[in-house]
C-alpha cells in the first residue's frame, strides 16, 4: 500500500467489509499486513499564484497516514503492520514475528498489497504477494504449527 492511495473510496469499502467480517465472526482484532511502500507524496506540491508549495505535513498526516485507521470508533482492536516493504525476505520474516506476537485473540489477518496476489499465469511483480509468502503467513497464524 502506498501513502497516496490510503483513505480513498476503496478504503471505505475495505474497512467496512473488515469490520463487518470481524463482527460476524466475533473477532476481537483485525491485523493489517500493509505491504507499506514509501511514496513520493512528500515531493508533491500545490500551486498558489504560480508559486509551488510543499503540502503541509499536518494535511498529509491527516489524510495519508495509514495508522489513522486505529482511531476508528469500534470495539475491534486494529493493528497495522506498516514496516516498509523493501526486501521481500526480511519483510516476511518480520511479518511472521509480528503475527506470533499478535495472535493472542481471535482475529482477522488482512494481507493488503497494492495489486493483490501472484497472478496464476503471468510473472508476479514486486508489489504482488507470492503464493509461498501467503503460505508462510497462513502457517504462522496457526497456534499449533510446528
Reading the chain (146 residues) residue by residue, the pLDDT tens digits are 555 555 667 788 889 999 999 999 999 999 999 888 877 776 788 899 999 998 888 887 777 777 888 888 999 999 999 898 888 899 999 999 999 888 888 999 999 887 778 888 777 777 778 888 888 888 888 665 44
Domain borders along the chain are 3-141
- For residues 26 and 24, give the distance between their C-alpha atoms in angstroms, rounded to a whole number: 6
| Rg value, the chain, Cα | 17
CA dihedral sign, ordered 20, 80, 12, 73: positive
pTM: 0.78
Q: Which segments of 13-70 are extended strands (E)?
A: 29-33, 45-48, 51-54
Name residues whose C-beta falls within 8 Å of residue 125's C-beta, 6 or more positions apart in sequence: 115
Integer CA distances (angstroms), 126 to 39, 51, 100, 110, in order: 15, 36, 25, 19
User: How many CB atoms neighbour CB 55 within 10 A?
Assistant: 15
Amino acid at each position: 500500500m502506498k501513502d497516496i492511495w490510503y483513505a480513498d473510496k476503496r478504503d471505505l469499502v475495505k474497512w467496512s467489509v473488515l469490520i463487518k467480517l470481524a463482527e460476524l465472526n466475533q473477532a476481537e482484532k483485525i491485523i493489517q499486513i500493509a505491504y507499506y511502500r514509501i511514496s513520493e507524496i512528500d515531493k508533491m506540491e500545490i500551486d498558489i499564484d504560480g508559486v509551488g508549495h510543499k503540502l503541509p505535513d499536518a494535511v498529509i498526516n491527516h489524510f495519508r497516514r495509514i495508522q489513522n485507521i486505529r482511531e476508528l470508533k469500534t470495539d475491534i482492536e486494529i493493528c497495522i503492520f506498516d514496516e516498509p516493504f523493501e526486501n521481500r525476505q526480511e519483510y516476511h520474516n518480520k511479518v511472521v514475528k509480528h503475527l506470533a506476537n499478535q495472535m493472542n485473540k481471535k482475529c482477522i489477518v488482512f494481507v493488503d498489497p497494492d495489486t493483490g496476489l501472484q497472478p496464476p499465469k503471468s510473472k508476479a511483480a514486486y508489489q504482488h504477494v507470492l503464493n509461498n509468502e501467503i503460505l508462510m503467513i497462513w502457517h504462522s497464524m496457526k497456534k499449533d504449527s510446528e
